[in-house]
Amino acid sequence: MSIGIVGFGNMGRAIGQSIASTDLWEVTAYDNYKVKTNNLKKIKIVKNAKELILNSSIVILAIKPHDVGSFIKENSVYFLKNKPTLISIAAGITTNYFQKSLKGIKIIRVMPNLAATVNESFSLICKGTLSKKSDLDISKKIFSQIGQVFITEESYLDKATSISGSGPGYIFYFMDIMYKSALTLGFNKKIAKKMVAQTFFGTSKLAKSSEKDFEQLAREVTSKKGTTEAALNTFEKYNLSSIVKEGIGNSYMRAKEISKIYTKNERS
């Protein structure tokens, strides 16, 4: 089976390199910007989208949402000729949008995250109206190469954008606060970065391996009048939890806005 990837930026490259390393599929890529597709092992680079679409049984669309409309317009004729399954990872663009522009093509929509770069993504997958269970199965197999997958209804994809999709950005933000606090305390940059990254990594591993919920785990690590409690009381005093909840709510609203902006054609 041949898989073509359109857009070889952060996500396209991460997905392409992972799936090519398995030798399960022939992988082809195309990107506007040639340098990004240089020096790649086991990935065939093609000169244009036409060649990729006409020679792939699955096309993974990994370009920015604002580039999707023109890409589909320019290339729909090749999709309709070869009829590959289209897997889109573009945030906010619905399966219905693709279904209306590419009549008869099977569509799968996926929301991965940046941890795909180290094969630790959490990817939510849903199907369009024409896709079958076998299309979900093959998508699951592909995205399992870059981390964990969860098959769900499409209504959850924009919601997931505000949790797992944008989540790495929130976590880097919190890591940066801890890193800068470590510098203030006198640690050098190298140690401070290692200390923070390993604390997140170890805590995440602990949380994943435990049946307990996060609240209970936090309670268990917080002794009365201890050092953790001193920090958590301060976070509570300034209502950090409602600030974070509001931020996530705004992220979800933005995902819905993007969806409206880029898929408005589907209502016309």
* Residues that bind ligand NAP in the complex, under the rule CB under 6 A: 6-12, 30-33, 36, 49, 62-65, 67, 71, 89-91, 111-114, 165
- Measure CA 18 to chain center: 14
User: Which residue, 148 or 222, has its beta carbon nearer to ligand NAP?
Assistant: 148
User: Which residue, 7 or 182, has its beta carbon nearer to ligand NAP?
Assistant: 7
Any idea what DSSP says for residue 116?
G
Assess contact for 52 and 6: CB atoms under 8 A.
Answer: yes
User: Which residue, 36 or 44, has its beta carbon nearer to ligand NAP?
Assistant: 36
The b-or-e profile of 144-177 (16+ CB within 10 A means b, else e) is ebbbebeeeeeeebbbbbbbbbbbeeeeeeeeee
Assess contact for 82 and 246: CB atoms under 8 A.
Answer: no
Q: Minimal distance in Å, beta carbon 113 to ligand NAP?
A: 5
Could you give the strand order of the β-sheet that contains 107-111, starting from the edge strand earlier in sequence? 43-45, 26-30, 2-6, 58-61, 85-88, 107-111, 121-127, 147-151
Q: Minimal distance in Å, beta carbon 190 to ligand NAP?
A: 26
Q: Minimal distance in Å, beta carbon 114 to ligand NAP?
A: 4
User: Which residue, 4 or 85, has its beta carbon nearer to ligand NAP?
Assistant: 4
Residue nearest to ligand NAP (CB): 9
- Measure CA 147 to chain center: 10
Q: Minimal distance in Å, beta carbon 1 to ligand NAP?
A: 21
Any idea what DSSP says for residue 212?
S
User: Which residue, 105 or 157, has its beta carbon nearer to ligand NAP?
Assistant: 157
Given the structure tokens 């209306």, which residue do they identify?
100
Q: Minimal distance in Å, beta carbon 14 to ligand NAP?
A: 8
Q: Minimal distance in Å, beta carbon 212 to ligand NAP?
A: 29
Any idea what DSSP says for residue 78?
H
